Amino acid sequence: MIKVSLTVNGKKHEKETAPDTSLLDFLRSIGVKSVKKGCGKGECGACGVIMDGVYCKSCIVLAIQANGTEIKTVESLGNAQNPHPLQTSFVDEGAVQCGYCIPSMLLAAKNMLDKNPEPDEKEIRKSLDGNLCRCTGYVKQIAAVKKAAKIMRENKNDQ
Amino acid sequence: MINVTQFVKPDSLPSALEELNREGSIALAGGTSLSLSKSKKYTKVVNLSNLTELKKIETKNNRLEIGAMVSMTQLAEVEDSPFPILRKTASSIYSTAIRNMTTVGGEIAKGVYWVDLPVTLLALDTQVLLQNSSSSRTVALSEIYNSHPSKFINSNELITKIFIPLQKSTSSFHKFTKTQVDYVLASAAGKAVKDGNIIKQINLSIGGVTPLPCLLPQVSSQLVGKKITDEIIEEVSTECCKEIKFKPDFRASTEYQKSLIKVMISRVLQDLQS
């Protein structure tokens, strides 16, 4: 067993774990259930997190590799009382059906918008590649990201 | 991975190489392959993520030097790259989340049929710097791939940099996948040095259909001294299949693989024509 210590959404966590534990399984074992397990081998994208500012698939990151890092999950974006524009737009556009892929997809979009506040459709599609959704057909999610980008730009201009 | 008892994160290349010199050690770059490894032979993981000296892309001594820890995202975002096909290849690989993690060194060391970057690097005459704690050697990537990275690179050696010679040339890369994130079914790359319209030197390489990406020296040599015409493209793209030892693929019959390679090579040659 190896001790892993990391920060999730600003809160420190420390736990002993087997050396081959993925970051995904580690996060779920400490109660972070918004990070979903789909394929477990880096293909479906349901387990995306932001690790030290880098969007990655937590099923193909070792927990011990994430030792000392700052992890952000969908909870870092907003909550029901104070949602992030991405969360509002996904709801408004009907971009969420079963919801399994959504936490990771929101983080993928957030990661892209932080670098590129004015993306075109091609860039939005590229940012969501590798995030499989079996319900929506992606059209509404692309519309939602476009809408969120516009709201975020307007909010920034108002500040 | 289950027998790993030590996990170290050195701050300098010499100490990383020292750590790798011990039996049972394995280097962790992006971790996208190692995290899925079921191997029981490793007892220590050496995480290379603190080695900032391996995350640089520089132009030195008339060659492009790329650190082994440069990620695909980093490679895809280089502005004014002397080799736009490096950007094209890197940005076509897997998905955003994986491009953020997977590294140049890792892509070379993987030694699997579905890697894309080595196809382009082979065409670009890439040299690879291998270092251990006491010595280093620079070898052609084609030499590593004529063998297999796992056999050619010693267990205490690390890919630290790659070198691509800078020369006035035209290059191209094309691949075919069923979806953006699927494993490649067939790919091809090429680099041509021309005198006017006449080819002075050319490298064609392919991936996806052989156990490892490889160069096509025979058809490449047949093109030297010639102008690329539509007839030559037709001839070469058909002829090249004779040089390729196609691997069995449950996703594609050999006939289908041949058709794909023909299209990929044609597209590359069309780009090299201009």
Residue A157 reports pLDDT greater than 90? no
**CATH 3.10.20.30 residue ranges for chain A:** 2-73
What is the per-residue pLDDT for A9? 97
Determine whether domain A2-73 maps to CATH 3.30.160.110. Answer: no
What is the per-residue pLDDT for A137? 87
Instruction: For the domain made up of A85-158, give the CATH fold.
Output: DNA polymerase; domain 1 (1.10.150)
Q: Which CATH number fits domain B52-165: 3.40.1160.10, 1.10.10.60, 3.40.109.10, 3.30.465.10?
A: 3.30.465.10
Nearest to B36 among A41, A48, A127 (CB): A41
pLDDT in tens, A9-59: 999 999 999 999 999 999 999 999 999 999 999 999 999 999 999 999 999
Nearest to B31 among A62, A67, A127 (CB): A62
pLDDT in tens, A102-127: 999 999 999 999 999 999 999 999 99
Write out the residues of chain B at the interface with chain A, using a CB-CB cutoff of 8 A: 1-5, 7, 28, 31-32, 34-36, 45, 47, 49, 91, 94-98, 100-101, 180-181
Q: Among B110, B78, B79, B81, which Cα is nearest to B94's?
A: B110
Residue A138 reports pLDDT greater than 80? yes
Interface test with B, best of A49, A62, A106, A107 (most B CBs within 10 A): A62
Structure tokens at A106: 């929101």
- Contact criterion met (CB < 8 Å) for A130 and B101: no
Residue A136 reports pLDDT greater than 90? no
ipTM, two decimals? 0.93
Task: Judge contact between B86 and B78, C-beta under 8 A.
Answer: yes
Q: Which chain A residues are Cβ-neighbours of B94 within 8 angstroms?
A: 42, 130
**CATH 1.10.150.120 residue ranges for chain A:** 85-158
Q: Among A109, A113, A152, which Cα is nearest to A133's?
A: A109
Task: Judge contact between B33 and B26, C-beta under 8 A.
Answer: no
**Alpha helices (runs of H) in chain B, residue ranges in sequence order:** 13-20, 72-76, 84-92, 96-99, 104-110, 117-123, 141-146, 149-152, 217-223, 230-239, 254-273
Each domain of chain B, given as residue ranges in start order, spans 6-47, 52-165, 170-273
Distance CA B188, CA B121 (A): 11
Q: Which residue of A has its CA nearest to B74?
A: A54
Superfamily of domain B170-273: CO dehydrogenase flavoprotein, C-terminal domain (3.30.390.50)
Distance from CA of B146 to the nearest CA of A (A): 29
Nearest to A48 among B3, B28, B97 (CB): B97
A14: which strand partners? A5
Distance CA B85, CA B121 (A): 10
pLDDT in tens, B238-266: 999 999 999 999 999 999 999 999 999 99
Task: Judge contact between A152 and A121, C-beta under 8 A.
Answer: no
What is the per-residue pLDDT for A158? 77
What is the per-residue pLDDT for A93? 96
- Contact criterion met (CB < 8 Å) for A61 and B34: no
Nearest to A129 among B3, B49, B95 (CB): B95
B164: which strand partners? B64
Task: Judge contact between B46 and B34, C-beta under 8 A.
Answer: no
Q: Which chain A residues are Cβ-neighbours of B180 within 8 angstroms?
A: 129-130
Mean pLDDT of chain B: 95
Residue B168 reports pLDDT greater than 80? yes
Distance CA B168, CA B82 (A): 9
Structure tokens at A76: 């870092």
Residue B87 reports pLDDT greater than 90? yes
Q: Which chain B residues are Cβ-neighbours of A56 within 8 angstroms?
A: 97-98, 100-101
Give me the percent of chain B exceeding a pLDDT of 90.
Answer: 90
Q: Which residue of A has its CA nearest to B77?
A: A115
What is the per-residue pLDDT for B194? 95
Nearest to B36 among A60, A128, A131 (CB): A60
What is the per-residue pLDDT for B2? 75
| Cα–Cα–Cα angle for A56, A114, B89, rounded to 5 degrees | 55
Interface test with B, best of A16, A36, A41, A55 (most B CBs within 10 A): A55
CB contacts < 8 A, A to B, total: 82
pLDDT in tens, A58-92: 999 999 999 999 999 999 999 999 999 999 999 99
What is the per-residue pLDDT for B212? 97
Distance from CA of A129 to the nearest CA of B (A): 5
- Contact criterion met (CB < 8 Å) for A43 and B181: yes
Q: Which residue of B has its CA nearest to A3?
A: B7
What is the per-residue pLDDT for A119? 97
Neighbours of A110 (CB within 10 A): 23
Interface test with B, best of A65, A104, A131 (most B CBs within 10 A): A65
Residue A4 reports pLDDT greater than 90? yes
Report chain B's terminal Cα–Cα distance, integer Å: 50
- Contact criterion met (CB < 8 Å) for B28 and A62: yes
Distance CA A59, CA A80 (A): 27
pLDDT in tens, B104-150: 999 999 999 999 999 999 999 999 999 999 999 999 999 999 999 99
What is the per-residue pLDDT for B263? 97
Cα–Cα distances in Å, from A92 out to A87, A132, B73, B91, B105? 9, 20, 31, 31, 43
